[in-house]
Structure 1
Amino acid sequence: MDFKSLEAVIWVDRLGSFKAAAEALRMTQPAVSARISQLEAMLDARIFYRSGKRVSLTPVGVTLVNYAERILSLREAAVATIKGHNEEHGIIRIGTMETAVHTWLPSLMCVISDKYQQVTVDLDVNVSDEIQRKILKGMLDVGFYIGATNSPMLTETHLCDFEMALVCSGHLVSGQGGRVDLKTMPSMPIMTFSRNTVPHAILCSLLSREGIVHHRVCAMNSVPTIVDMICKGGGLALLPVEVVRRQLEQGVLRIMDIGLRLPAMECIAGRLAKHGSNVVEDIVTLAGEFIELAGSGRAVDPLPGNGKSSLL
């Protein structure tokens, strides 16, 4: 029974499959399967129930995982005590929703790269639900997502609120002015983020509450695609104002006055409550400082050499 075999058991349990565990451990799937088989032969008991591509722990497996986590935790404590712990090397896995990618995240990544030059950052751009799931599964060290989970397993920090608006091409309503009635507008696509995201839920709730059924809600996972389509008059879009700030200022896009105040999206920085990483906490602090300096979730341009920042 070695450390790698115990790690294989833990990751198969966390991710629910041998394939996903192999990817997380940077091993081949046969190698992971072989380690599990060797453990099962040594213990003379099954560790996992196998049902198609999914696996789950047997009672023996539950006991083994409990011991494995304690053993590996003791190993990490021993290494840290004997060698001295320096976490400013290695990989930091960051998950983020796309809104941050198009506002303040690129500048934050530049500062992280400059401050932690021995750290490699793996960035996962995804929907909020998936980011939260991956943090809880140990697949991400920190994530920026919409809406607090209030899970006791997570430490969550409020970063900012993104103002939401229904926007369209400046040519679409340029001659109307004033308030727009969605009920009387001709049928057209209204685009927003993927299903199971807060903006998609906001849009569907709005249309349902107003009894509007003739507009089509189109879910997309690419902000540039949505912006390009509405700039060309391909429909309307519910988006954070900051991701289209430049187009609004240029008059290419326009915020539609529909007579309703749309709820803002709360941006959260989440990480496991017991992660114990000073680097992760520093990244959250840096993100908060950037956003506070910029205001409203705007990006900040880090100036080289002096550690100061200016608004983009």
Structure 2
Amino acid sequence: MYPTVKQLEAFLSTARLGSFSAASESLHTTQSAVSKRIAELEAALSAELFERSQKRPALTTKGRALLPLAAQVVDLLARIGEEMLDPDPFAGRLRIGVTEISALTWLRRFIEHAREHYPRLTIDPEVNSSRTLLEQFDDNALDIVVVPKIDRWPSGYCNIVVGTLSTAWVASPQRFGSKRRIEPGELADYPLLLQAESSVTARVHEVWLREHGVSARLATRTNSLPVLGQLTIAGLGVSVLPTEFFREEIAQGLLAVFETEDALPQIEYHAIYRSERGEPVLKIAALIESMCVFHRASD
């Protein structure tokens, strides 16, 4: 049989106050009730906790060993009660899943503002591919995810548009010259640099390529956006990059943007959450919407 909370409280009060009568007053009960609880605790642990031969109860060796452990248990149970009864809906942890570009841009500002507005809320970010984030969300491992729009959201999920990502075909002007306009079909003549196949945005761009008769089968791929940018600047191929994220490199002439007759589609980003999470998660989604701009975090 395990000790009960009341037994441990009786033991702690008696040990700290030095008498059964003082403990009973502290616990708002009778002295006989305190004595009974301690006797039950000793029976449960098969150990004598107090020397009763003296005028005042003194802890035995076993009692001294139990004292810090009992204090930890009672304190922990008190904390559990405080957390469960806490009326603040923005206390605790929020598990948010984002893709790499969000982590590199607006996520830092979002965490700063969340701490300012909700100081008792801790943000735990998870950075991964859209597919993995949605799987984790489906398994209740995440409270809210921010991912590119997919064809159909699973039933029961709520979503709001929080931002739009603009992309364009870009290349190194030192490697491919100063040409600023290109026909979509001409991309077949260039080595292509694309994001990994697990990326939703990469799949959108591949559909665009297929519609214009260009195969992405031989494209060089990476799951890192900064690496993709560096490979493009080095002249290793033509790639699709988010123009806001790489605006400094474009302004410096390290990257040149190709205009195409049929522009690439913009990528909508959505915050996905469950309706049963209530108003707090809806306010968090609104805060994300106000923060979600795909500039560098240092901008």
1:183 alignment partner in structure 2: 186
2:161 alignment partner in structure 1: 158
Tell me the alpha carbon deviations over residues 65-95 of structure 1, each in whole angstroms, 9 at most, x when there is no partner: xxxxxxxxxxxxxx79983433433221010
Counterpart-to-counterpart distance in 2, 1:147 and 1:155: 13
Q: Are the counterparts in 1 of residues 188 and 215 from structure 2 also a CA contact under 8 Å?
A: no
Paired residue for 1:203, among 198, 202, 205? 205
Q: Secondary structure at the residue paired with 1:138?
A: coil
1:229 alignment partner in structure 2: 231
Paired residue for 2:278, among 276, 279, 286? 276
Q: Secondary structure at the residue paired with 1:161?
A: strand
Tell me the alpha carbon deviations over residues 163-201 of structure 1, each in whole angstroms, 9 at most, x when there is no partner: 121111132333334335653764413222x21332221
Count, aligned residues: 219
Q: Structure 2: which 5+ runs fail to align?
A: 1-80
Task: Call closer, same or farther: CA 1:87–1:232 in 2, change over 3 Å.
Answer: same
Q: Secondary structure at the residue paired with 2:246?
A: helix
1:289 alignment partner in structure 2: 290
Q: Secondary structure at the residue paired with 2:282?
A: helix
Q: Report the TM-score, using the length of structure 1 for normalisation.
A: 0.62
2:109 alignment partner in structure 1: 107
Deviation at 1:131, TM superposition (A): 1.6
Task: Call closer, same or farther: CA 1:93–1:249 in 2, change over 3 Å.
Answer: same
What aligned pairs does 1:33-52 form with structure 2 within 5 A after superposition? none
Deviation at 1:100, TM superposition (A): 1.6
Tell me the alpha carbon deviations over residues 27-86 of structure 1, each in whole angstroms, 9 at most, x when there is no partner: xxxxxxxxxxxxxxxxxxxxxxxxxxxxxxxxxxxxxxxxxxxxxxxxxxxx79983433
* Higher mean displacement: 79-88 or 123-132: 79-88
- Matched to 1:230, the amino acid is T
Counterpart-to-counterpart distance in 2, 1:125 and 1:151: 21
Deviation at 1:107, TM superposition (A): 1.1
The structure that has the greater radius of gyration is 2
Task: Call closer, same or farther: CA 1:84–1:113 in 2, change over 3 Å.
Answer: closer
What aligned pairs does 1:6-17 form with structure 2 within 5 A after superposition? none
Counterpart-to-counterpart distance in 2, 1:214 and 1:204: 7
* Higher mean displacement: 155-164 or 249-258: 249-258
Counterpart-to-counterpart distance in 2, 1:238 and 1:276: 38
Q: Secondary structure at the residue paired with 1:242?
A: coil
* Higher mean displacement: 260-269 or 117-126: 117-126
Q: Structure 1: which 5+ runs fail to align?
A: 1-78, 292-296, 302-310
What aligned pairs does 1:67-146 form with structure 2 within 5 A after superposition? 83-146=85-148
Paired residue for 2:177, among 139, 156, 174? 174
Over the matched positions of the two proteins, sequence identity in percent amounts to: 19
Deviation at 1:215, TM superposition (A): 7.0
Task: Call closer, same or farther: CA 1:203–1:250 in 2, change over 3 Å.
Answer: same
CA RMSD of aligned residues (A): 2.9
Counterpart-to-counterpart distance in 2, 1:300 and 1:229: 18
- Matched to 2:121, the amino acid is V
Counterpart-to-counterpart distance in 2, 1:277 and 1:80: 21
Deviation at 1:150, TM superposition (A): 3.3
